[in-house]
Structure 1
Amino acid sequence: MGKRLLSCLLFFAMIITLSACSNQEEEQKAVQEVVQSYLTDCKNGDYKEADALLSEDADVSMNLTAFYEQLDDQLVNMDLGEDFDKEARKFVSAFMNKTFDQYKIDSTQIDNKEATALITLKGKDSEAFDVNSLQTELMNSVQTYMEENAESLEAYATEHTQEELEAKLYKDLSALVFGNMTKSLEDLPDTETNLKFTLKQEDGQWKINNIENTNEKH
C-alpha cells in the first residue's frame, strides 16, 4: 500500500512538473511574441501598434506616438507642401528601418509576473548620423540645383504663378535634400546593440515596461 501511494505521489509530482514546464514555455513564447512584434513595428514605423505593447507606467521617452505627432506638428508649422512632408516622412521611415535592420532574441527569463528578454539588434549606427555636419553638403547640392536649372526655372516662372513655382521648388529640393540624407544614412557604419527588455503582466497580457541598452556604461 505504501509503495502504491508513493508511486501515485511521484506520478502526480511528475504531472505538476510537466505542467509547470509547459506553462513556462507558453509564457516564454508569449514574451518573445511581444518583443518580436514591438521590434517589427518599430522597423516598419507602425508606432501606434508599438506603443500599444508598452505598459501603462512605461517611461514616456519610449512613446513613439509622441515623436511622430511632434514631427507632424513641425511639418504643419513649416507649411512647405505635401511633397516636402512626404519626403520627410519617407526619410524617417528609412531611418527607423535601417536602425532596426535585424534583431534576434537571445534569451528570455520569467519570474512570476515579470520577465526579461535579451536582444541583439543590428543596424546602422544612428548616433553617428549628424545633420549639422551635412548642412554644408546639402546647401551645396541646393546651390548646384539652382545654378543648373536656372533657365528652366525662369521659363517655368513665366508660365506659372509664384505659388506654383514655389511648389515645384519644394518638390524638387525636398527630393534632392532628403535623397542625400538617405544616402548618408545608408553610408553609416553598421553597429550591434545589446538590449534588455523588461516586461510585466497587465490584465493577463505581457507589456514592455523598460528597454535598456546594455552596451552603455553607467
Structure 2
Amino acid sequence: MKKFLAALLGVTLLFAAGCGANPEAEAVKTTADSFLKAQQEGNLDEAAKYMTESAVQDMGTMSELRDSLSMYEEAGVSGDTLDTFMDSMLKAYRLIWEKYEIGDVKVDGETATVMVKVTGVSMEVMEKEMTEEFGANVAGQWAEDHMEEIQNYATGHTEEETFAWLMDQMLPAAGKEAEAKMDESERKASDYRLTLNKEGDDWKISNVEVKSE
C-alpha cells in the first residue's frame, strides 16, 4: 500500500509539474492579449506598445494616420471634420476584431508564435470594400443629392472655400457610410498567426498574418 501510495504521489507530482505554467509562454500570451484588446478598441497607439518598430511602421499609429490627412486641413477643411472621419474609420476597423480566442502558443528561443481565432468582419472584406472607388461613389452620390446646395454655396465663394466646405460635408458622410457598410457585412471566423520576437525582457509582435478566411 505504501509503495502504491508513493508511486501515485510521484505520478501526481510529475503531472502537476508538467502542467505548470511556462513563464515565457505566459508572457507571450499576455502580450498577444494586450495587443488584441487594443485592436478591439481601435487604439492603434496602445497596440503599438506591443509591436516591434518595423511592425508599427507597417500598421501605423493614430498620429501618423491623422497626419496623413493634414493636407486637407491645410486646404481649409475643419479639424473636427477630419477627427470625425477618422473616428468612423476606426470604428469600422474595430469590427474586424469583435471577438478573439487565443489558442496554441509556441516559444522557440527568442521567437514565438500565437494562434488566434478572430471573429468579425474579415480583413479581406475591409480591403475589398474600402477603396478609392467606394469613396468616389459616396462623394458622387452626395454631390448628386445636394447639387442645388453646392451651386448656391459656390456662387458666393472661391474654389478653395468651396472645396473645403465640400470636404466638411462629404468626409463625415463617407465615414458613416463606411462604418455602416462594414457593420452590415457578414461576420466570419479567421485564423490569425502572431509572430513575436523577444526584445530585452519583453515580447513584441513582429508580424500579424491571416491564415485562412
Taking structure 2 as the reference length, the TM-score comes to 0.72
Matched with 2:33 is 36
The whole-number CA distance in structure 2 between the counterparts of 1:188 and 1:108 is: 30
| Distance in 2 between residues matched to 1:74 and 1:114, nearest whole Å | 33
Whether the 8 Å CA contact 1:108–1:115 is kept in 2: the answer is yes
**Where do 5+ consecutive residues of structure 1 fail to align?**
1-6
Corresponding residue for 2:142?
Answer: 141
Contact 1:99 1:123 in 2 (8 A): yes
Q: C-alpha distance in 1, partners of 2:169/2:55?
A: 39
Supply the distance in 1 between the matched residues of 2:205 and 2:82 (Cα, whole angstroms): 31
Distance of 2:12 and 2:27 partners within structure 1: 24
Opposite residue 147 of structure 1, the aligned amino acid is E
For 2:105 and 2:43, how far apart are their aligned partners in 1?
A: 24
SS in 2 for 1:185: helix
User: Whose radius of gyration is greater, 1 or 2?
Assistant: 1
Q: Does 1:75 align with 2:69?
A: yes
1:210 maps to 2:211: no
Deviation at 1:108, TM superposition (A): 1.4
State the AA in 2 paired with 1:129: E
Equivalent pairs: percent with the same residue? 20
Alpha-carbon distance between aligned partners in 1 of 2:96 and 2:107, rounded to the nearest angstrom:
28
Unaligned runs of 5+ residues in structure 2 are 1-5
Equivalent pairs, count: 202
Q: Cα deviation per residue 1:131-156 (whole Å; 9 max; x = unaligned)?
A: 344223431222212436877x69xx
* TM-score (normalised: structure 1): 0.71
Change (3 A) 1:200 1:174: closer
- TM-superposed CA distance for 1:164, in Å, is 8.8
1:129 aligns with 2:123: no
Q: Is residue 184 of structure 1 aligned with residue 178 of structure 2?
A: no
CA-based RMSD: 3.7
